[in-house]
A and B are shown apart, each in its own frame.
Chain A
């Protein structure tokens, strides 16, 4: 049965990608809010924000916007997983001789594809708004790798939510705190402008190290220790979320 994992995952991923292609609004909706935020921060608030660096504000806040995009995008994964379980097609798959992890992996890979598409749209808009980077191919690969890890980590959290939810609204509610987290980080303003306890939280939560790393990569500055802190958070969250999601799934399909 294990030999079929790849083939089954491929077939099921094809199915959920088709869902996205038939309702491209999910990708557009995912991109609209971050674009609005980007316009708001660059053209309304940005002028009054002193980031203490030479780079333009759009360069400064793009990493945070990318994380917000992913955090709102994964909500659709929870939503699609929940609808599968509601509709009975999940049970059909479970009663068929297909490898069981494939059902989840198909949703995870689809989430990755959809979020990378949204990210591409956001970077395109940012370029129009004046975002510039001299980042090397290696730096771009590093940024992509970090965004992929971030998407996978949040997607497995979305899988837990999708498997556990009792209602459609409940399936996507988990994403609200995740979308909010970049606001209390170095994504939009430097953390040293915040009062003590808030600054402490902002400096020690995962988003700040991830944002700082991506920002440094785009600005061709040394990433220092931040990249290891960021990778530690990303891999830690990914492993824990994956373990919980798989345990939840096992319980569900026992």
Chain B
């Protein structure tokens, strides 16, 4: 079901505008996201990334313009859009009082799926949370909460997933784990739109990157297209010093507090984290 829309873009945004009272947050945003790709919306705090995601996930109505997700207009057919998407917001939307397993069962039941318990157990395994599954989420670390949050978003295999700043506030290991998850998702044909203020995150994950600045898209292209905007690289010889992050990851080992996904993080040289 994830690759049915091969011709039409999975997300189409045209001329979206949105103001809050006098503050114009979005001033005509246009972009398309190809089905099965990872699209990064890059921008600093207050650029309008979250507002854009909230419009696409039917939480907010735009003032002007049109947006369609999985072929459905967000304002005309919000119900169909909600069937096709899942949203992982900026703050982990998990229920602290319930256990990890109960959170997953809850979402599976609300999506009217059969066998909610099996779905929960399967996801706990996929996200290395089997042992923690019976514990209340209040006892989880930030990385575990985020993984559970993303696991909850995958229930029902929605073809389009929105991730709003998925790694903000996570430690380096947790961030690597989340990145692996996102890569795997796109590998299975899910369309991923993620927002981030971290350049390295967009660089590492995204097939296309759009830079949202002061309410409009000022650039939109692949990483190599964006790199061509600057003068050709000149070759310099610089002594490679390990960054503190390299040292940290080497010392504590990348498995960290929890077991990672079966294949493990692939690249040991995670680029230093630069803020936009």
Please give me the residue from chain B that is nearest to A83 by CB atom. Answer: B96
- CA distance in complex: A98, B89 (Å): 18
Residue B95 interfacial (CB < 8 Å): yes
Query: With A94-B59, A95-B59, A97-B83 in contact, is A11–B110 under 8 Å at CB?
Result: yes
Partner of B97, one of A18, A93, A95, A96: A18
- The smallest beta-carbon distance between B177 and chain A, in angstroms, is 20
**Interface hit among B24-32, B101-109, B165-173, B183-191:** B101-109
**Interface hit among A84-92, A162-170, A173-181, A204-212:** A84-92
Query: With A8-B110, A11-B110 in contact, is A87–B96 under 8 Å at CB?
Result: yes
- CA distance in complex: A18, B94 (Å): 15
- The smallest beta-carbon distance between A236 and chain B, in angstroms, is 33
Please give me the residue from chain B that is nearest to A11 by CB atom. Answer: B109
* Contact between B94 and A89, CB atoms less than 8 A apart: yes
- The smallest beta-carbon distance between A4 and chain B, in angstroms, is 7
- CA distance in complex: A89, B148 (Å): 13
Interface centre among A15, A22, A95, A253 (most CB of B within 10 A): A95
Cβ–Cβ < 8 Å partners of A96 in chain B = 82, 86, 107, 110-111
Interface centre among A87, A88, A97, A253 (most CB of B within 10 A): A97
List B63-86 residues whose CB lies under 8 Å from chain A: 79, 82-83, 85-86
* Contact between B107 and A91, CB atoms less than 8 A apart: no
- CA distance in complex: A41, B87 (Å): 53
- The smallest beta-carbon distance between B146 and chain A, in angstroms, is 12
Residue A23 interfacial (CB < 8 Å): yes
Residue B204 interfacial (CB < 8 Å): no
In the complex, per-residue mask of A92-113: 1 if CB is within 8 Å of any chain B CB, else 0: 1111111000000000000000
Interface class of chain A by DSSP: helix
Cβ–Cβ < 8 Å partners of A19 in chain B = 97
Total of A-B residue pairs, C-beta within 8 Å: 63
Query: With A7-B112, A18-B102 in contact, is A95–B85 under 8 Å at CB?
Result: yes
In the complex, per-residue mask of A63-75: 1 if CB is within 8 Å of any chain B CB, else 0: 0000000000000
- The smallest beta-carbon distance between A167 and chain B, in angstroms, is 17
- The smallest beta-carbon distance between B93 and chain A, in angstroms, is 4
List A1-30 residues whose CB lies under 8 Å from chain B: 1, 4, 7-8, 11-12, 15, 18-19, 22-23
Partner of B91, one of A7, A15, A87: A87
* Contact between B93 and A88, CB atoms less than 8 A apart: yes
- The smallest beta-carbon distance between B255 and chain A, in angstroms, is 28
* Contact between B57 and A88, CB atoms less than 8 A apart: no
- CA distance in complex: A7, B95 (Å): 20
* Contact between A88 and B110, CB atoms less than 8 A apart: no
Partner of B98, one of A15, A93, A94, A98: A15
Interface centre among A1, A94, A253 (most CB of B within 10 A): A94
Query: With A4-B112, A8-B110, A11-B110 in contact, is A95–B57 under 8 Å at CB?
Result: yes
Query: With A95-B58, A96-B82 in contact, is A89–B95 under 8 Å at CB?
Result: yes
Residue B152 interfacial (CB < 8 Å): yes
Cβ–Cβ < 8 Å partners of B106 in chain A = 11, 15
* Contact between B110 and A254, CB atoms less than 8 A apart: no
Residue B117 interfacial (CB < 8 Å): no
- The smallest beta-carbon distance between A10 and chain B, in angstroms, is 9
- CA distance in complex: A201, B110 (Å): 48
- CA distance in complex: A4, B112 (Å): 9
- The smallest beta-carbon distance between A27 and chain B, in angstroms, is 15
Query: With A15-B106, A22-B97 in contact, is A95–B87 under 8 Å at CB?
Result: yes
Residue B223 interfacial (CB < 8 Å): no
* Contact between A23 and B94, CB atoms less than 8 A apart: no
Query: With A11-B106, A11-B110, A18-B102 in contact, is A88–B91 under 8 Å at CB?
Result: yes
- CA distance in complex: A95, B97 (Å): 21
Cβ–Cβ < 8 Å partners of B102 in chain A = 18
In the complex, per-residue mask of B111-144: 1 if CB is within 8 Å of any chain A CB, else 0: 1100000000000000000000000100000000
* Contact between A97 and B82, CB atoms less than 8 A apart: yes
Cβ–Cβ < 8 Å partners of A93 in chain B = 110
Residue B175 interfacial (CB < 8 Å): no
Residue B214 interfacial (CB < 8 Å): no
Residues of A within 8 A of B (CB): 1, 4, 7-8, 11-12, 15, 18-19, 22-23, 87-89, 91-98, 253-254
Q: A18-B98, A87-B95 are in contact. List 6 more A-B contacts (CB 8 A).
A: A8-B110, A91-B93, A95-B82, A96-B86, A96-B107, A254-B60
Q: Which 3 A-B pairs have the closest CB atoms?
A: A88-B93, A92-B93, A95-B87
Jot down 5 A-B pairs with beta carbons below 8 A, ordered by A.
A87-B95, A88-B89, A88-B91, A94-B58, A96-B107
Residues of B within 8 A of A (CB): 57-61, 79, 82-83, 85-87, 89-98, 102, 106-107, 109-112, 136, 152
